[in-house]
Structure 1
Amino acid sequence: MKQLLLQVFTWWNGQTMGTRFFTWRNGKRVGEDEMGNVYYEGGTTSFGLPRRWVIYKGYADASKIPTGWHGWMHYRTDVPPSKEDYKPREWQKPHRENQTGTALAYRPPGSLAVPGERPRVTGDYDAWTPGN
């Protein structure tokens, strides 16, 4: 019952009823990533490209899409990672969720969230002051 209410009244928890119906009618399951997100393809976009979408497991956040699936979703490749032996390159970092709004978010020196004073500006820059 809770899942049904979430699908009716929220868009950020998995899929809505409209997405469920569209996926049932038009979607062909392409694969699933290691986080449980499920990828679909079906129909065409207004540009004539195959329509692709993802149904997130849990909270809908675009930063949850891993590297290989990101390339497929954005039409960088026509072969999804589930159909090939996809291996991330050595320079690709492992996936990390978006940390914005959490205690783990990046806070540069001088931001309001970090105690202390902002570092002094160095170099050839002089701040503008009125009357000069």
Structure 2
Amino acid sequence: MIELVFSDACTACGDCVTACPSNVFDTGAEGVPVIARQADCQTCFMCELFCQADALFVAPDCTGPTPLDPAAVRQAGLLGQFRRDSGWHEWEGRRANEHWRMDEVFRMARTLPASTPASPTN
């Protein structure tokens, strides 16, 4: 489920808003997407695939929100990992499509420390 939008990394391109098949995002201040309908997220990772700025994080749990520490997500190197492992954009031809390895990514994400209740956008 979509959990985090890193506004400091976002380029406000709107690609995630357009790519989302569930209309989860609204366009917020200065074009930065806002998670408006998190419960509608299908955990399809399309927003992550289309985000060339690596400004989004989708947690692997599709059953409900996962409180996460944004700093831990960033430090773990999970931002953009789905795009890299799928060979999208600048990774095309440089990285094999390793979508089949996502179980390993999901396992790593499940071990991230939880955050204290805060704003879903960081």
Structure 2 length normalisation: TM-score?
0.29
**Higher relative contact order (CA closer than 8 Å, sequence separation 6+):** 2
* Greater Cα radius of gyration, structure 1 or 2: 1
